[in-house]
Structure 1
Amino acid sequence: MSNLYGGGGGANLNQKIDYVFKIVLIGDSSVGKSQLLARFSRNEFSLDSKATIGVEFQTRTVVIDHKTVKAQIWDTAGQERYRAVTSAYYRGAVGAMLVYDITKRQSFDHVARWLEELRGHADKNIVIMLVGNKTDLESLRDVSTDDAKEFAQKENLYFMETSALEATNVEPAFITVLTEIYRIVSKKSLVANEEAESEGKSALLTGTKIVVPSQEPVPGGTKYSCCGSS
């Protein structure tokens, strides 16, 4: 895991970056946030992982719709004593992965509290995915997929079940969030360009600061999207 000055895998130094999106991982301790990040950023998994202290991050560069997007993914410690420290790092985040352990009902019961904290500190239009991790421990499941789906629908969240150990749905979960952020931001840029052109002004957008506009529901009236494994 890199520290605040480090970064994970990505493109070469000469590659042009079109967008940088900050994503935060939140949820109780030991639900697998760091392992999800390690799997997505470096395709690694460590059985000897230690608890995250404070906040750390990794980066990975992906291509979405022919644009180069650098994901800066922050891993926030789940322990209660770090909550006051990590809350400041919600600022500037345009996406969030709210993670629970499918074998620990308590971690799912705490999701509502994490969501409340996230919405209290982050931009109100942040793209959020509920992630049920550790599907490799299906025999120990204590949170049904239907319960999680119901919560996601009620709170207008995306939803996916994953296994960092087996690399199940980890890539799709992160890419779904990044793609939705890109869709929102690029749509806003298009509108801004059209307005600038209509006023005879320069339509160049530097994109140095991204402010996520209001999200529109996907067809069906909800942003909820279930790609979870059974």
Structure 2
Amino acid sequence: ATLGVEVRPLIFYTNHGAIKFNVWDTAGQEKFGGLRDGYYIQGQCAIIMFDVTSRVTYKNVPNWHRDLTRVCENIPIVLCGNKVDIKDRKVKPKAITFHRKKNLQYYDISAKSN
């Protein structure tokens, strides 16, 4: 589990050179909500991630999206449902509709199994 805020630089090597992607992981902890806007400043893209084994994390997606777009306006954003490797899925695929309203790409993912 992430406590506080973790920053992990990821470097992707592309045909256009290296791209550094700084991942600011607040782990969705609401006590860091007031600080989160500071992390969004100068953001150029975003991944909003929720846990498919926890409905409350999906319920927070609209708030995270609202805060992000208020600070960063028109950046590319994707939505990811994480932990799809776990059998006890609470947020079913048909319940995941927020991305359609906001015209976002959606991906089922597992950080554990890549």
TM-score by length of 1: 0.46
Identify the match of residue 132 of structure 1 among 69, 81, 91. 81
SS of equivalent residue, structure 2 residue 85:
helix
Partner of 1:85: 35
Identity %, equivalent residues: 32
Report matched runs for 1:123-162 at 5 Å: 123-137=72-86, 139-148=87-96, 150-162=97-109
Looking at structure 2, the residues matched to 88 and 102 of structure 1 have their Cα atoms a distance apart, in angstroms, of 27
Looking at structure 1, the residues matched to 30 and 89 of structure 2 have their Cα atoms a distance apart, in angstroms, of 24
User: Cα–Cα, structure 1 residues 143 and 69, in superposed 2: closer, same or farther, change >3 Å?
Assistant: same
Say what the alpha-carbon RMSD is for the aligned residues. 1.6
Q: How far off is 1:155 after superposition?
A: 0.9
Partner of 1:52: 3
Identify the match of residue 18 of structure 2 among 68, 75, 93. 68
SS of equivalent residue, structure 1 residue 152:
helix
TM-score by length of 2: 0.88
Gaps of 5+ in 2: none
Letter in 2 for 1:86: R
1:76-107 deviations in whole A, cap 9, x for unaligned? 24222211122211001111111111111121
Looking at structure 2, the residues matched to 145 and 77 of structure 1 have their Cα atoms a distance apart, in angstroms, of 22
Looking at structure 1, the residues matched to 13 and 79 of structure 2 have their Cα atoms a distance apart, in angstroms, of 23
Letter in 2 for 1:166: S
Looking at structure 2, the residues matched to 72 and 80 of structure 1 have their Cα atoms a distance apart, in angstroms, of 21
Q: Is the 8 A contact 2:28 2:57 kept in 1?
A: no
* Structure possessing the higher radius of gyration over alpha carbons: 1
Q: How far off is 1:60 after superposition?
A: 2.2
Higher strand share: 2
Gaps of 5+ in 1: 1-49, 168-230
Partner of 1:163: 110
